[in-house]
């Protein structure tokens, strides 16, 4: 048993290079022997900025009771004075995960019990081509390679997968590009059959509503589960126009920070599925607020998560306790030594995570093993987002 009064004594970061991405683990220590919490604050190409943000926020946490999560979040957001943006919000998210981990451990309960309890018996998940290999995810534009990689995912037991094969685009779409997208989708559907759901991530590449709709027209005959981020985030009206005309569900939200950035989507009913990233949008508690508002706007929730294992654990507890949850993105086993560095509560049976009952988030970190994979600069995939005439476009 732990004392009635618990105080935070330190907040630290541990960076683990997972080959194509750095994982930023956040460790919150307390004055109780053995009571620490772990969270994740990974943000691609911003590793040093986020670890610096966590260090800057640490003085606001020292001496606080880690179970006063709402009060701590108000302190982190309001006493920073300037709005935190994606870097600061990611740092806060990782800290918040760790606070829930401590809370659960302190009362010997899994986090999902503390945030609403269980509303489902398993959590449906999907993954990407290459099972997390970033080159496969972002650089598969050949139909035969697409087919082979998709079949590998299905053979692993998944009944849903997501692909990124929309070309780097501008304001208009040429006929060959449209036809290529159609061929890719036809190949994919023929390979996996109708029993596997397919999601297409546009990555915000089209620079206009008309360009997005032209690509969607090619995909519709093959019944996508949803098309994701067909236009850049932030333009609610453009997203609403796509959703109204698409003929299939539209999803977005991974790059939005906090409830306030999601609110216009709910007010205009601008899409069908929201995709908050609990690693970036402020944490689990903010995610629950977003999900509740989405439910009132007749929207499902499919949390974004191409991040590391602790982000996955946080998403698992969120999904178990969220009524309008649809499906969860995941990248477990993204590197061969995954299980040497971290043990997680995610146990997959077929295409579903099972419900864990271990206290807290259920994560254990082997810091000695983690030290074998120190920080490295990540691969800059974005450098390829250039058209033939030299125009830099959205990645």
Which residues are identified as catalytic? 203, 304
Count other Cβ atoms within 10 Å, centred on residue 360: 29
Alpha carbon distance 106, 3 (integer Å): 9
- For residue 145, give both structure tokens: 């390679």
Alpha carbon distance 347, 385 (integer Å): 36
Count other Cβ atoms within 10 Å, centred on residue 4: 7
Check: CB of residue 172 under 8 Å from CB of residue 211: yes
Alpha carbon distance 299, 304 (integer Å): 15
Check: CB of residue 42 under 8 Å from CB of residue 279: yes
φ, ψ dihedrals at 175, nearest 5°: -60, -45
Listed in sequence order, the residues at least 6 apart from 233 whose beta carbon sits closer than 8 Å to its beta carbon are 204, 252, 253, 254, 255, 256
φ, ψ dihedrals at 8, nearest 5°: -80, 130
User: DSSP letter at 131?
Assistant: G
């Amino acid at each position: 048993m732990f004392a009635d009064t618990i105080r935070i004594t330190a907040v630290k970061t541990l960076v683990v290079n997972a080959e194509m991405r750095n994982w930023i683990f956040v460790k919150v220590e307390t004055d109780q022997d053995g009571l620490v919490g772990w969270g994740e604050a990974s943000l691609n190409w911003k590793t040093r900025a986020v670890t610096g943000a966590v260090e800057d926020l640490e003085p606001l946490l020292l001496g606080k009771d880690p179970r006063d999560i709402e009060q701590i979040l108000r302190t982190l957001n309001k006493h920073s004075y300037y709005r935190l943006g994606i870097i600061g919000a990611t740092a806060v998210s990782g800290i918040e995960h760790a606070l829930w981990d401590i809370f659960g451990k302190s009362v010997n309960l899994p986090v999902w019990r503390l945030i609403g309890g269980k509303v489902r018996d398993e959590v449906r998940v999907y993954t990407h081509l290459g099972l997390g290999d970033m080159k496969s995810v972002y650089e598969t534009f050949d139909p035969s390679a697409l087919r082979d990689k998709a079949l590998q995912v299905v053979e692993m037991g998944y009944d849903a997968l997501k692909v990124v094969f929309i070309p780097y685009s501008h304001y208009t779409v040429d006929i060959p590009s449209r036809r290529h997208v159609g061929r890719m989708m036809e190949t994919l559907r023929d390979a996996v059959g109708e029993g596997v759901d397919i999601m297409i991530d546009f990555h915000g590449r089209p620079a206009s509503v008309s360009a997005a709709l032209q690509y969607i027209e090619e995909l519709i005959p093959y019944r996508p589960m949803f098309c994701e981020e067909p236009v850049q985030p932030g333009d609610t009206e453009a997203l609403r126009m796509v959703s109204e005309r698409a003929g299939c569900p539209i999803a977005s939200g991974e790059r939005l920070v906090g409830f306030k950035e999601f609110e216009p989507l709910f007010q205009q009913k601008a899409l069908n599925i929201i995709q908050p990233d609990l690693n970036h949008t402020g944490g689990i508690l903010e995610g629950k607020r977003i999900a509740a508002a989405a439910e009132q706007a007749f929207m499902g929730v499919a949390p974004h998560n191409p991040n590391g294992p602790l982000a996955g654990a946080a998403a698992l507890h969120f999904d178990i306790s969220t009524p309008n949850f649809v499906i969860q993105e995941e990248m477990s086993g993204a590197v061969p030594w995954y299980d040497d560095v971290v043990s997680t509560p995610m146990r997959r049976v077929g295409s579903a995570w099972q419900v864990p009952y271990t206290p807290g988030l259920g994560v254990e970190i082997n810091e000695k093993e983690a030290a074998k994979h120190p920080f490295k600069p990540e691969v800059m995939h974005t450098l390829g987002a250039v058209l033939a005439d030299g125009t830099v476009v959205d990645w």
